[in-house]
Chain A
Amino acid sequence: MRLVYVFIIISNIIFCQNTIEGNLKDKYNNVVVGSSVTITDKDTGKIIGYAISDEIGKYKIVFTSSLKTIELKVMFIGYKTITETLLNKTQTKNYTLEEQSFELKEVIVKSEKISVFGDTINYNVNSFSNKEDRSIGDVLKRMPGIEIKNDGTILYQGTPINKYYIEGLDLLEGKYNLANENLPHGEVLKVQILENHQPIKILDTLEFSNKAALNIRLKKNNIFTGQAELGSGFSPLLWDVNITPMLFSKKNQMLFSYQTNNTGSDAASQVKSLTTDDISERFENNDSKTDWLSIQKLQAPDFSDQRWLDNNVHLMSVNILTKLKKDYELRFNSSYLNNYQQEDGFSQTLFFTASDTISLFESKYNQFYTNSIDADLTLQKNTKKSYLTNNTKFKGYWDGQNGIIDNNITEIRQKLSNRFFSFSNQFYTIFPLGKKLITINSNLSFNRTPQSLTVSPGQFENILNEDENFNEVTQEINLKSFYSNTFLGFTKGLGYFTFTNKIGLQIEVQDLLSSINIDNERDLGSEFFNNLNWLRNKAYFILNTQFRKGDWQIGLETPIAFNSYKIDDENLIQSQMLNRTTFEPLLTVNYNINLFWKLTASSGLTNSFGTIDKLHYAYILNNYRNLQRINSVLPENLNKKFGVGLYYRNPVKSLFVNFQFNYINKKNNLLYENEILTDGSLEINARENENFRLTHILSGNASKYFNDLNSSLSINSNYFSQSYNLSLNNLPADIINNNLRLGSKIVTNIKSFLSLEYSNTYLISYSTIQNQEKQKTIQHASNLKMNLNLYKKHYFGINNEYIRNSLFSENNLNFFSDIIYRYTLDKKKIDFEVQWLNILNTKNYRTILVNDYNYIETNYRLRPTQLLFKIRFTL
């Protein structure tokens, strides 16, 4: 005990107590409050004493230390740290602090991955992104409940989204892939799913919607971003350029893109529209391109384009949206595509007739040229008080295709020009008048389809040239169409009900000219010339009643339409008229069982009538082995549809599940008689004979994110079955096609630097013709992707793909491997990348397709092994 006293006395001598005090100011002479001043042992870094500056900027540290010198540090957020070595003695030290910005590395809050706000589900992008991700699309794939198909379509709970907004604005409409694949995910704060999204704000409380929209919330209000990518490689000489700058501000949004490559990446898919416009969908407006004539193509493999697409593409896209005064916004979207693709391979087709199996071998080499312009100008006002949109569109396609077929007997050359031009305008407005809403709509469109197909040597000698061989046959087609749809609507809300009445008229005028010419200019007669005039009118009245109360939403649509068709061919002196009154009720019911469960059901009747390509009195050579005329009555179908869906979403548990069942019963007035000739060529005739086509579709999807394991699991299944009747070589055939798809995907982050993606898909198809079971075909595809991030700068991606196909006589295994190495300069956000694709140099891919009454086995030539170097930077 005495010793302790001695020690205390000694230590008091050695450890003398000192005080350091002073004032802190900034360079404007303001006092600095709350700054810490520490005194540390320079060698060990141990804190000996500290103080926090008070309200007048004063600090005072009383401390005891035996050290000769001490280190004083003044540290405060927003200011430069001051370090000074001082003698260990009592002293006064005043400091002036210099400002310096302080950026803390963000750490993601785990519990806020997904949150719900009414009908909005928020996904925190940081929580789902991995280091190897570049675009927002890369991150979306990992979010539970969201799925991206191969073509870029985004599904939420198994259903395509109806809008892709960026900060609430619809810059790209259906062409959202442009943003999804090029917007750096680092700019995105969160992704929102807007359930039951009604895009027209004035109808928000009046007309419910079952569709979900997606909204991208950015971190900043004004940003200029995008990415630029330059790549080159071999062999052959490869290039890959993608420059996509974009700008988002409160008033303006812009996205430009220039892309060119010959590496098999299908840039054209980025300007493909992936949403359907509800309004035009219901009114049978068809301003999309129809190819009347075709060359024989190969069945393209159903995996990544980069393995097989032999292309040379240039794409330019301009998208501008600007907000004008009085809530109007003006949008301009335009793209130009110049695309060359070629394909090489052979196919073996088996035609099953009731009595026989016909086999056809074709070796094919095809070239496709696309030259197209797409321009779209929209003026829109979308507020809670009124809605107005005027949309003008122009589309022009100058497309051509060449094909060479070798069927082991002759070489057949096909040359196709399939051009298409369309100009359309839609005006649509909703405004209140008293207690009612008035809707006015006007659609106009003009299309022209000049197409031609030349085949040499001439085919169908028996019909075209009295069994004599000849050099060349040319099919010319020119279709001109005019379409208009005008309606007036009244909407009124009454308690829980909303009533909408619409009265309208559709007019379609078409003029089809076609001719078949052969090289010796023989007069073939009127059977080979169409001069068809087509007039279709549809006057309609629609009463739409919607009921909404609590968790129930019920809608009943009862359209009555008077359809009239007048079709005549002057040359052939053939004509027909048809008048039909149709009633097409549709009942939809949505019920929110609770916060998590939702049930939907719908049932309805629709009629459809044949379009002009389903009725022509003279022959048309659709492709080299298909000569077709349909000189019967107009096809009429009556569809009965029924569907139910059950949806579960629990964002707290990150669990999303849905089941859907759909049944369609289609009654046709015509039975198609297919005559397959021994050389595989086909003649189709239609006969009046009532028949039915039944379709059953059953699907189920589930996805879950496991917080503790940092992993997500999704499983999906789809069963499709269709049964119908045909006449095959004069014998009736009952055909049943069945398809079953089962898939699963696991994404797991094992360590912060290592993640794995593993997916499996089984596709099983089989058909029965006249109770005779045909061979089952099974495809199993499996994909394992490993992402390795080392020292923040190095990324290795290893991708292994395995596809097993059961073919006619054997099983076929395909293996693919790719390696990607990426070096990132973090500060400048520049990536240097090396890709070695198809390491195993797999050259061919064999696959099988089950059609109506044929199986087509295709051998497709793939891209060889290739090495690609890329530089990518964020703009």
Chain B
Amino acid sequence: MKKYLIPLIFFFLSINILNSQTLIGGTPSFPPSDFNSKDLDTSKQNFFYEYTYVRNPDEKLKKRTALTVLQIGTNFSKFSDYNSLKLDSVQEKQSNLKRIEKNEITQQLNYRTKIGFKITAVKDLSSNKFSIQSKIPSNNYQYEIDQPKLNWKLEEEYRTILDFNVQKATVFYSGRSWIAWFAISIPISSGPYTFNNLPGLILELYDDQKNFHFILNGINNEIKNIYIRNEDNIIKTSRSKFLNTEKSYHERPDLFLKGSEENLKELKKIPYNPIDLKY
């Protein structure tokens, strides 16, 4: 239950803003959040990466895991947390309901609590531009960036991951030293998040401090929609503005959540360990 507590508080708090219905007594029920998405493409391959990360940079030994997925289409690719896709489909279904109640919230929490990688990165393969979406309670943000030009150094080290021969490559980017293992036999110049520019798919990626670690653990050829959420209330911004906002949210979360004061007293500083340390 402890695992659910923080997300639950956040969930209720963010709902409180939308709808000032009291939660004391009775079954909580509120209108579902909007759901609107735009289909861009369909995936030909889906690559699943197990994602292990350090949430609190002061507690490097405490690691969490999640499942992320890279969907490759003809014109677009998308990298996101697998459970955020699941959550989207739940929210889409629930958006038709008049009100959502405990069961629906439980369904959402089931996925919400499993989300580890909070960024969705959609890449237009013809222009090499990324649309990045992420959430800072209680708004969704979106910004555009060009594909980073990574200057990898190929190393003379080889091994296998899931029966694929992979070669080691290193790069310094966004304030961290990164190590990647790519498979030349998968001719897709892509990888987790915005990492790219190797002559083959990145099957494993980690920083030298092991704050973030992605490793391929599954592939399927299921045809799935590649979509981007496009509700009207998504705040379009720039990368620097977003990261500043995100940083201040972690320092003073109470400013972002307008719940009752007793609830907010509980909220202290949230540990902040962004994947892009500098940009």
Contacts and interface: CB of A to CB of B under 8 A. Distances in A.
A440 interface: no
B22 interface: no
Contacts of B131: none
Given A52-B199, A107-B162, A109-B48, A76 B221 contact: no
Contact of A47 (B82, B107, B167): B167
B217 A107 contact: yes
Nearest to A116: B110
B127 A104 contact: no
B72 interface: yes
A14 to B, nearest CB: 20
Contacts of B50: 111
Contacts of B198: 36, 50
Given A118-B103, A595-B106, A78 B74 contact: yes
A77 B197 contact: no
A55 interface: yes
A76 B44 CA distance: 14
Given A47-B167, A47-B184, A550-B27, A109 B218 contact: yes
A854 B107 CA distance: 56
B273 interface: no
Given A33-B126, A55-B128, A118 B107 contact: yes
A47 B217 contact: no
B189 A36 contact: yes
Nearest to B66: A111
Nearest to B188: A77
A28 interface: no
A109 B127 CA distance: 31
A108 B110 CA distance: 22
B199 A106 contact: no
Nearest to A33: B126
A19 to B, nearest CB: 16
- Size category of the binding interface on chain B: 35 or more
Interface string A87-122: 000000000000000111111111110001110000
Interface in B171-221: 184, 186-190, 196-200, 216-221
Contact of A38 (B199, B218, B222): B199
B45 interface: yes
A332 B50 CA distance: 47
Contact of B218 (A52, A77, A110): A110
Nearest to B128: A55
Contacts of A54: 128
Tell me what chain A mostly uses at the interface: helix, strand, loop, or mixed. Answer: loop
A705 to B, nearest CB: 17
B217 A111 contact: yes
B163 to A, nearest CB: 8
A107 B187 contact: no
A52 B189 contact: yes
Contacts of B196: 52
B200 to A, nearest CB: 7
B27 A33 contact: no
B60 interface: no
A219 interface: yes
Contact of B67 (A37, A108, A111, A595): A111
Nearest to B89: A117
A35 interface: yes
B188 A112 contact: no
B186 A104 contact: yes
A552 B106 CA distance: 16
Given A34-B189, A52-B199, A78-B74, A103 B67 contact: no
B107 A34 contact: no
Given A35-B187, A47-B154, A550-B27, A107 B219 contact: yes
Contacts of B162: 107
Nearest to A75: B187
Given A55-B127, A104-B219, A109 B187 contact: no
Interface string A140-173: 0000000000000000000000000000000000
B107 A117 contact: yes
B177 to A, nearest CB: 21
B221 A106 contact: yes
A762 B77 CA distance: 56
B167 A108 contact: no
B219 A47 contact: no
Contacts of A469: none
B275 interface: no
A861 to B, nearest CB: 51
A77 B188 CA distance: 6
A188 to B, nearest CB: 13
A110 B199 CA distance: 27
Given A107-B219, A117-B107, A36 B199 contact: yes
Given A47-B167, A104-B219, A117-B107, A81 B67 contact: no
B125 A34 contact: yes
B258 interface: no
B52 to A, nearest CB: 12
A61 B210 CA distance: 32
B102 interface: yes
A105 B187 contact: no
Nearest to A38: B199
A110 B189 contact: no
Interface in B32-58: 44-45, 48, 50
B187 A36 contact: yes
Contact of B197 (A35, A52, A104): A52
Interface in B243-261: none
Interface string B107-123: 10010000000000000
Contact of A106 (B102, B126, B216, B219): B219
Nearest to B45: A104
A595 B1 CA distance: 11
Contacts of B107: 117-118
Interface string A516-530: 000000000000000
Contacts of B156: 46
Centre residue among B106, B107, B167, B188 by max chain A CB count within 10 A: B188
Interface centre among A36, A78, A102 (most CB of B within 10 A): A36
B127 A81 contact: no
Interface string A825-842: 000000000000000000
Interface string A20-56: 0000000000000111111000000011001010110
Interface in A66-80: 75-78
A37 B199 CA distance: 7
B199 A47 contact: yes
B48 A55 contact: no
B199 A50 contact: yes
Contacts of B128: 33-34, 54-55
A155 B167 CA distance: 48
A77 B75 CA distance: 12
A55 B27 CA distance: 54
Greatest chain B CB density within 10 A among A37, A46, A103, A117 is at A117
24 contacts: A34-B188, A34-B189, A34-B190, A35-B189, A36-B187, A36-B189, A36-B200, A46-B156, A47-B154, A50-B198, A50-B199, A52-B189, A52-B199, A55-B126, A75-B187, A75-B200, A77-B187, A81-B187, A102-B187, A107-B217, A107-B218, A109-B48, A117-B90, A117-B110
The 10 closest A-B pairs by CB, nearest first: A109-B218, A75-B187, A36-B199, A50-B199, A107-B219, A109-B48, A52-B189, A106-B220, A38-B199, A77-B188
Interface of A: 33-38, 46-47, 50, 52, 54-55, 75-78, 81, 102-112, 116-118, 189, 219, 550, 595
Interface of B: 27, 44-45, 48, 50, 67, 72, 74, 82, 90, 102-103, 106-107, 110, 125-128, 154, 156, 162, 167, 184, 186-190, 196-200, 216-222
Given A36-B199, A47-B199, 18 more contacts: A33-B125, A34-B125, A46-B156, A52-B189, A55-B127, A55-B128, A75-B200, A77-B45, A77-B186, A77-B187, A104-B221, A106-B221, A107-B162, A107-B216, A111-B67, A111-B217, A117-B110, A118-B103
